[in-house]
Amino acid sequence: MVNHGRSNGCLTCKRRRVKCDEARPNCHSCQRLGLHCGGYRAKPTTFKFKDQSHKFGTEIFPKKACPSPRPLAEPDTSVPFFLQHYAVMGRDMQSASGFFELLVPVYSSQPQKSALSLAVSAIASEVISLWRHNSFGAPQEAYLQAVKCLRSTIQDPNERGKPATVLAVLSLQFYENLAAIYDRRPASRVHHDGAISLLPFAKSDFTNRLVSGYLRKYIFHSEMSSAIRQNRPLQSIVRSSFTESNDSTTEPANPSFLLDSIGASVAELQASYFQRANHDNPMLSEQHEHRDWRTEAQHINEQLLAWARSVPEYWRPRKLTSGQDIEPLIPTYESVCEVYPSCQIGTIWNLWRVQRLLLIKIILSSDEISARDEDFVSCKQALQELLDSVCHSVPFYLGNQAGPLSLANFADPAVFLPIDLLPADDVLGSGNETNWNEHRSHIIAQGPWHILSPLSRVVTFFLEDHGPLMKTFLRPGQYEWIREQFLRVTILLRIPLADTENADGVSHQFNSSVQGSVDTRVENLARKVRKSAVFMSGP
């Protein structure tokens, strides 16, 4: 293996594992090949948090409306690390779902012992412990203090509807989601329902109207996602609140919110369709008897296709193929990778793909459809294309990373990502202020989490009703590749397989003679992840 030692070469040459002539400002090797020269690292990478609230727009947070922000740097580096790598990097209001994008500005205006501050501290300490190869622990003092403080805050009529209070509740649900995944158990919905119960009180003044509008849309997004995962309709209070938010905000709906509106229709149709077999309720059966499920699914599918045509041009993925475009060490499916402007935008695309897959499932399970039907043929082709796109997004999120993630990954020249051989303008867009190293860091930090949900969704998709039939539509080995990548993500995130981990709790290496048993365990883990992540954002 090549050993670069303490080479002072540029970052691009280090990642390509070739000799660098160390020319300044850009090395001649990169210039000759037309590659983006990553520059030179003058000193070891350190984690530095800086307030980037200005990126979220002064029209959302007028200076006169906010108290003087407290210093964000704290003795414990976990909070700055968490906010910088998860709430700032890779986030913008054009692709906002409404939670992380608001967390830093609102958090910075809160006192140290507020419910939101304590909730963020609880999350941050657990997240950094995972990067330091510690286990996700039992609820610690900060979490218990946050719950206690939140109960007191909600008793105050002047506080219960404020954005900071709602964000504190949503942060506690985020903590619960993480704990459920590492405990491999269903997530409690207590904080999710708590956030919903606060919606009637969130009648904000003009200053906080837009902030509250974004939070309502995030709660709608979470409710829509969980409704799809649980085969149930949305709670009416959430739907009406979302409509009210759209009516009251002066900001145009971003593509993420528009997709959520269509996703609500997917959730409602799916819930109705899979409840139609409930013969214990004659009125329900009679109500569903004459519905044209196939036509309804096709209509919503057309809305999703129209959404895809309307997104900003820079949202569209750039397709890379094998050869010079992709580092050979990066695992790909059919030697193709699709690169996105951010993890968040890539995940919105995967959410769109999963919604279309659910509609295709309804169409293909229709009683009157046959293998010679034109719709059958088009659905089969669309299913293959959608699954291909999910597979092609995996390298973007994971690069060549294979072992459990650690803080060293951020500065490791052996970590390759598909974006490394692309000019910055091709990935970030001309004039984008995002720092290239920050862009890489956000993929390393967030990538495995963003692809965990789509991969677990696809694995379980083929384990459900009509799934085995649809699995026959795939190319030989494709499902196995998807399952393998899901297992790879669990290794990166240190999510153990039950009854298979070693003393460190992370080993997934097995004897080939028990491979069938391992595959079953992986599929069971995917089911558990779905139940654990039921209230998380994404597919």
Place of tokens 């769109």: 352
> Hey, what amino acid is at 407?
L
Under DSSP, the state recorded for 59 is T
Confidence (pLDDT) at 512: 41
Whether 407 contacts 132, CB under 8 Å: yes
Confidence (pLDDT) at 506: 43
What residues contact residue 502 under an 8 Å CB cut-off, 6+ apart?
none
Confidence (pLDDT) at 311: 95
Confidence (pLDDT) at 325: 76
Q: What stretches in the chain show pLDDT beneath 70?
A: 1-7, 14-17, 33-34, 40-76, 137-139, 203-207, 244-252, 277-290, 323-324, 367-368, 370-371, 424-434, 498-516
Whether 55 contacts 92, CB under 8 Å: yes
Q: What is the chain's alpha carbon radius of gyration, rounded to the nearest angstrom?
A: 24
Cα first-last separation, the chain = 39
Q: Under DSSP, is residue 210 helix (H, G, I), strand (E, B) or coil?
A: helix
| Alpha-carbon torsion (470, 476, 478, 480), positive or negative | positive
3-state helix, strand, coil in the chain (%, to 5): 60, 0, 40
Distance of CA 237 to the CA centre of its chain: 25
Dihedral in degrees, nearest 10, Cα atoms 313, 226, 233, 263: 0
Supply the pTM of this predicted model.
0.83
